Every structure is written in structure tokens, then in C-alpha cells.
Amino acid sequence: ATQADAAALAEKLTDEIARGEVEIETRGRRIVVRIRERGSFASGSAELKPEYQALMRQFRDVLAAQEGAIAVQGHTDEVPIATARFRSNWELSSARAVSVAEPLLEGGVLDPRRVSVTGFADTRPLVANDSADGRVRNRRVEIVIDQGIDRRMREQLDALKTGDPAYYRSLRLGEAADGQGGVMR
């Protein structure tokens, strides 16, 4: 199901993927849509280019039809920034994440309780920051759709909880496995 959802998202982003501006990957029940700086933001800017604002509004309609929490995460390279607008990479990464989240939330299509916005600065690089290409790759905003535990997995966990409570507790699955929401990691 996650692969099919990722394919639906990729269909909306075909041109951007072909130009190398966007990447989509899946990790278990998590879909990561990676928006690279190239094409979406000017260097050192947090203003999402108009064509990307329109694209994010189209993208939100696909997101609204899918289940899961949506985290919009801004990332920078390790080169310090100190401009009149941004005192640090923390501010830049946070502002870029907000710039992507805003068109996703326009019009009340997406439930804002599903969305979180975070700036990570240079703390979570994809690759080493030891080259210009590496730094370019690390400057990005990611939209992470965490689909959590599906119905079939929940049924299996409930059976385990009933059948072998001690083993179930030893797994430390947390609230998500108990049907209380949250994320299973």
C-alpha cells in the first residue's frame, strides 16, 4: 500500500523528478518526498518559488487522500549563514519548512493536526558535507508521510499482546501499537 501511495505522489511530481529537483523514497510505512534546493528556493532564501507553491497545492490534494502524519522538515548544509534575514542555519531550515507547509495547509484540505514543521539545520545530512555536490544534496526540505501501523499489523500486534503479554511488553512498541496513535519506530 505504501508503494502505491508513493507512486500516486510521484505521478504529481513527474516533471520535477525528471529534472532532479524532487526525489521520492519509501522506508517501510514511511514515504519521503525530498525537495532539493535547486529549483524550489534561491540560494540563502526561504521563499518558495511560485511554481512550487502551485505544485504544493496540487500535492496536498493527493496527501489529503492518504493516511498518516505529515512532517515537513527543513535541512541545510554545514556552511554557516548569517544574513539580515537569517541568523543561523536553524532559522533558514525552519523558514523553508514553513514555506513548504503553508501551501499544503491552504484551503483547509489537509487537517492541520496531521502536519508538523521542523528545522534541522545541518544536523541530519544525507551525505558528507565535504564537497560542493554533497552540500547541494544536503540543502533540502523533506515531506515525510508516516503511515504508521496498518489494520493487518494492528490485528497481529493485538493477537501477540493477548497471546504473549510479556513478550509484547519486551518489544517496547509504545502507544502506536496500543492503538493510541503515535509512531512506531
pLDDT 10s digits, 83-117: 889 999 999 999 999 999 999 999 999 999 999 99
Q: What is the pLDDT of residue 154?
A: 75
Pairwise CA distance, residues 79 & 139, whole Å: 10
Q: What is the pLDDT of residue 170?
A: 84
The tens digit of pLDDT for each residue in 31-53 reads 999 998 877 888 889 999 988 88
Neighbours of 101 (CB within 10 A): 25
DSSP-derived 3-state class of residue 119: strand
* Structural contact between residues 24 and 31, judged by C-beta atoms closer than 8 angstroms: yes
Pairwise CA distance, residues 52 & 103, whole Å: 9
Q: What is the pLDDT of residue 21?
A: 86
* Structural contact between residues 168 and 157, judged by C-beta atoms closer than 8 angstroms: yes
| 146 DSSP assignment | E
pLDDT band at 150 (very low <50, low <70, confident <90, very high): low
* Structural contact between residues 115 and 70, judged by C-beta atoms closer than 8 angstroms: yes
Q: What is the pLDDT of residue 181?
A: 37
Residue written as grid cell 507547509: 101
* Structural contact between residues 59 and 9, judged by C-beta atoms closer than 8 angstroms: yes
Residue 178 scores a pLDDT above 50: no
Pairwise CA distance, residues 106 & 77, whole Å: 29
Neighbours of 93 (CB within 10 A): 27
Q: Length of the chain, please?
A: 185
Q: Indicate the range of 2-6, 68-72, 151-155 predicted with least confidence.
A: 151-155
Dihedral of CA 61/35/115/179: which sign?
A: positive
Residue 169 scores a pLDDT above 70: yes
